[in-house]
Amino acid sequence: RDISIAIGGSATNDGGIGCIRALGGKFLDENNQELNGCGEDLMKIRKIDLSGLNPLIKECKFTVMCDVTNPLCGKDGATYTFGRQKGATPEIQNDLEAGMCNYRDIIKEQFDLDMDNIPGSGAAGGLGTALMVFLNGTLKSGIETVLDLVDFDEHLKDVDIVVTGEGRLDGQTVMGKAPIGVAKIAKQFDKPVLAFSGCVTKDATACNREGIDAFFPVLRNVVSLEDAMNPANARQNMADTAEQV
């Protein structure tokens, strides 16, 4: 009955309505007809009916592990931050955002909750919102939960340098992702933090303000994605870069 759900890396931008519909919830349109529960339905929602929600849910405690702090709507919300990664064109993003705003307003009206003011509500295409509102889930930092499990603080005591990284360091990294979680705890122990990644973007400099002292892309020349992802090449690139650092 104690359920932890790690969210992120989803291919959806439906506000979590597909998940809740699978559990028995209903999202109704202006004609009181049940919607299918996909992204394009967000604009059509006029009422949310939880009367058919699986009764076992009331016996459960849900912990939602999340590594981003994005709100549900707006320029930093689910759609405009993550939608393009999932294949949404600018036109589709605008439609999805309009639907997400409608969804937000319905939730505010029925449940008296403003999800734009709750960090992490936009995670996994808005699934964070659905789990918090409809399942009474408690949002926790995914990386902090994992670091607690592996006694990260204890490991830090005897190290000289902390090394972290991810596939791409960018402006989204500072929104609660793993490298920043590592860096923040390392800084509590005054440890220098270095990060390695496949590539970096211009806005990755935000990472320096959040505890990463220096970051380094491991690619040394322009290559195809296939070459970059080849395990032998990746291993050699990482070793060569680390040696020079």
Q: What is the pLDDT of residues 124-153, one digit of tens each?
A: 999 999 999 999 999 988 888 888 888 999
CA atoms within 13 A on the CB side of 183: 25
Measured between its terminal Cα atoms, the distance across the chain in Å is 47
Between CA 50 and CA 70 the distance in angstroms is: 26
pLDDT category of residue 18 using cuts at 50, 70 and 90:
very high
Residue 173 predicted with pLDDT over 90: no
Mean pLDDT over the full length of the chain: 93
pLDDT category of residue 29 using cuts at 50, 70 and 90:
very high
Between CA 75 and CA 53 the distance in angstroms is: 32
Q: What are the angstrom distances between the C-alpha of 43 and each of 11, 15, 39, 92, 211?
A: 19, 11, 8, 12, 40
Pairing of strands 61-66, 138-141: parallel
The fraction of the chain above a pLDDT of 90, given in percent, is 80
Q: What is the pLDDT of residues 205-242, one digit of tens each?
A: 999 999 999 999 999 889 999 999 999 999 999 999 99
Residue 174 predicted with pLDDT over 90: no
This prediction's pTM: 0.71
Structure tokens that stand for 100 in this block: 């997400």
Q: What is the pLDDT of residue 172?
A: 78
167, 196 contact by CB (below 8 A): no
Region 88-100: mean pLDDT is 94
**Least confident range of 8-12, 56-60, 70-74:** 8-12
Q: 124-149 burial, b if ≥16 CB within 10 A, otherwise e?
A: bbbbbbbbbbbbebebebbbbbbbee
